[in-house]
């Protein structure tokens, strides 16, 4: 029998650390302004989804490395479902009018989603890595350590190319041994392989389609985020110091997996 003094029963609040969790929403505005609570909660919720996405991306790469196609697809389906929820949640923030946001905006000072290290980690895992994104965080911090690790790790695309090679496709050695810290460049050789996959190999063509869904899903979030930014702050610059919506528009339409998009014209 377990001793209730030394080994208390698990409770809902204890397991989820609710006391800590519910103490973490701390508005900075006087009053405080009513809408700041929504602003904090939604950003915290996004950071939790980012955490879960990163957890699942690590799993997808591992499952591809294990040649477990079925479960890799299953995990990608979960990732896509989370992304849909993340896009839908922007509707909630869009109930906040420009004036409601302005009621506390100056309290944010230079803080911005631009500084989300988990968002950068997601970009890194999917192949968009920059030294600048790592250097933005102090040496030894949680964010910097996590980004340094993701920077050095193979991307989901690398795991996929190795998987294709083990499936019998002749992936050029230069692609398999590529420097994983560099951006994924379009490759004619990979495109020829992918066309072959789409024409002859239903199982792996399905896997490719889930990767396209993923690429499109992140872009859908970016598009909805920039529209929300436009309707909330117009053409004003961002708290993070960028040109605001004008900067964000430059990030739309950049594909993580360019080869998967290129082959559509040739199919
Ligand atoms: C009223 C709501 C929001 C406004 C007005 C807003 C505005 C902006 C602006 C202007 C930028 C460009 C960087 C800068 O200069 O600050 C930005 C970047 C960003 N925001 Fe938001 N944002 C809002 C809500 C959110 C939410 C809820 C998230 C979820 C985490 C988020 C995540 C991000 C991310 C990840 C970036 C960096 C994008 C990139 O560099 O590709 N934002 N935001």
Over the stretch 117-134, which tens digit does the pLDDT of each residue have? Answer: 999 999 999 999 999 999
| Residue-level pLDDT at 177 | 97
Q: What is the pLDDT of residue 5?
A: 74
Element containing residue 156 per DSSP (H, E): helix 156-166
The rounded Å distance from CA 249 to ligand 1 centre is: 12
For residue 8, the model assigns a pLDDT of 85
Atom of ligand 1 nearest to the CA of 112: 16
CA 215 to chain centroid: 10
Residues of the chain with pLDDT under 70: 1-2, 4
What span, in angstroms and rounded, lies between the C-alpha atoms of 103 and 95? Answer: 14
- Give Cβ neighbours of residue 221 (< 8 Å, ≥ 6 apart): 83, 86, 87, 90
pLDDT value at position 23? 98
Q: Is the beta carbon of 119 within 6 A of some atom in ligand 1?
A: yes
Is this model's pTM higher than 0.85 or not? yes
Q: How far apart are CA 87 and CA 10, in angstroms?
A: 34
Report how far ligand 1's centroid is from the alpha carbon of 48 (Å): 16
Q: Rounded to an integer, what distance in angstroms lies between the CA atom of residue 155 and that of residue 126?
A: 6
In testing the pocket of ligand 1, which one of 112, 234, 241 has its CB within 8 Å of the most ligand atoms?
112
- pLDDT attached to residue 2: 62
The Å distance, Cα 113 to ligand 1 centre, comes to 4
Closest CA to ligand 1's atom 25: 113
Angstrom CA distances, 229 to 113, 237, 250, stand at 12, 10, 14
CB of 247 sitting under 6 A from ligand 1:
yes
Neighbours of 170 (CB within 10 A): 11
Q: How far is the CA of 116 from the centre of ligand 1 (A)?
A: 9
CB 89 within 8 A of CB 225: no
């Amino acid at each position: 029998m377990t001793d209730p003094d030394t080994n208390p029963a698990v409770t809902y609040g204890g397991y989820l650390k609710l006391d800590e969790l519910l103490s973490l929403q701390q508005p900075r505005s006087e009053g405080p302004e009513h809408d700041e609570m929504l602003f904090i909660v939604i950003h915290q919720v996004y950071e939790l989804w980012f955490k879960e996405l990163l957890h699942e991306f690590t799993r997808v790469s591992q499952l591809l490395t294990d040649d477990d196609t079925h479960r890799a697809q299953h995990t990608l389906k979960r990732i896509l479902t989370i992304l849909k929820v993340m896009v839908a949640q922007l509707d909630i923030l869009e109930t906040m009018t420009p004036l409601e946001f302005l009621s506390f905006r100056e309290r944010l000072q230079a803080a911005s989603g631009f500084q989300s290290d988990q968002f950068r980690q997601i970009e890194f895992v999917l192949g968009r890595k920059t030294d600048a994104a790592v250097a933005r965080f102090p040496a030894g911090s949680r964010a910097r350590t996590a980004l340094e690790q993701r920077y050095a790790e193979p991307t989901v695309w690398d795991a996929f190319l190795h998987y294709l090679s083990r499936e019998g496709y002749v992936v050029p050695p230069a692609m398999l041994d590529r420097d994983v810290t560099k951006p994924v460049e379009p490759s004619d050789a990979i495109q020829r392989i992918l066309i072959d996959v789409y024409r002859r190999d239903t199982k792996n063509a399905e896997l490719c389609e889930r990767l396209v869904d993923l690429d499109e899903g992140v872009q859908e979030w970016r598009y909805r985020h920039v529209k929300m930014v436009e309707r909330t702050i117009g053409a004003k610059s961002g708290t993070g110091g960028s040109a605001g919506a004008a900067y964000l528009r430059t990030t739309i339409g950049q594909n993580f997996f360019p080869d998967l998009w290129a082959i559509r014209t040739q199919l």
